[in-house]
Amino acid sequence: MTTPTIEWTGETDGHLRLLDQTKLPTETVVLDCETVDDVWWAIKKLSVRGAPAIGIAAAYGVVLAASDSHESIKQACDHLATSRPTAVNLFWALDRMRRVADEARDSERAERLLAEARAIHAEDAEQCAAMGRYGADLFEQTLAKGSGILTHCNTGALATGGDGTALAVLFELHRRGFAPKVYADETRPLLQGGRLTMWELMQRGVNATLICDSMSAQVMREGRVAAAIVGADRIAANGDAANKIGTYGVALHCRAHGLPFYVAAPSTTFDLSLSSGDGIPIEQRAAEEITQPGGVAVAPEGAEVYNPAFDVTPSELIAGIITERGVISPVNQQTVAALIG
């Protein structure tokens, strides 16, 4: 992409620049975040989104408080942690920044915090590349060349510090000449699949078709796809995976049609403190996202709304979890522990 998703400008006196994803695909708008609260709002309103990207943005957000007192830096971490509850990468990145702040001397704290944020960013890019390779190797072994592959939400460069998680696999297959035919769910209610995933796939020249969320079962029934691959925002110790709302339905459709359902996520997305997905906090979003998409009323005023941002797919529905360390398959507590724990 010509405009980076996340970019730190300058040195310790610099600031964070974000590609505002709420404006895509019709506008390319860059947000200059100069305060911790600017970053908090960018995460909260989804200007930056995707579990790895949220963690990276939050890490840089801490750097904006680096010239303040040690106590102010801790307060900045605590504040950023309240922006969104489900993506575990957010808390993982903030824990790393807290440790650096605790260990560093006052004279070196700002430089060390910026170096740590840059390291988190660079490590995620490397993880994306590794997931792409492992996933492409897997699909080349199990799927026919040119197979249809369904994906949900956005898991590409817009959601990470590199090429993505699930989309990194598809991009790598495309680079290798495997020529996947990608079907992208629109991903209601905020249409990340239609607005963002299709934008990324078309920029890369990947053969892609946009479908409504409600069409996935029919597309599978017609034999148009051979597998599905999605990302994740938090994965429990037993392999249960939380991802954008609608993912669980895709997994059930795959099971009904005898198709493999894969998750791609870095090791930083695993939360081994949770024994199962039952303990994953699910963010509740504003009713207006459903009743007034894009500011246009599509429901009666005062309509009662239930708007969870994520659902949890049980591990028994997941054929494999593609990580930067390899593929977890079958998916259970033992196999997760062997590779991640």
The verdict on 62 and 159 lying in the same domain is no
pTM of the model: 0.96
Widest Cα–Cα separation across the chain: 64
The verdict on 164 and 251 lying in the same domain is yes
Q: What CATH number corresponds to the domain at position 115?
A: 1.20.120.420
Q: What CATH number corresponds to the domain at position 284?
A: 3.40.50.10470
Check residue 11 and give its pLDDT: 95
Residue 37's SS3 state is helix
Tell me: pLDDT of 91 over 80.
yes
- CB distance 83 to 58 below 8 Å: yes
Tell me: pLDDT of 39 over 90.
yes
- The reply to whether 1 falls in a domain is no
Tell me: pLDDT of 53 over 80.
yes
- The reply to whether 143 falls in a domain is yes
Domain ranges, residue 145: 131-339
- Rounded distance, CA 205 to CA 177, Å? 12
Check residue 14 and give its pLDDT: 96
Check residue 164 and give its pLDDT: 98
> In degrees, to the nearest 5, what angle opens at C-alpha 183 toward C-alphas 321 and 245?
60
The verdict on 222 and 85 lying in the same domain is no
The verdict on 169 and 93 lying in the same domain is no
Place of tokens 């795959």: 254
Which residue ranges are tagged as binding site for substrate? Answer: 49-51, 84, 192, 243-244
- The reply to whether 116 falls in a domain is yes
Position 68 confidence tier, pLDDT thresholds 50, 70, 90: confident
* 148-166 average pLDDT score: 98
Active-site residues, by number, are 233
The string of pLDDT tens digits covering residues 274-299 is 999 999 999 999 999 999 998 999 99
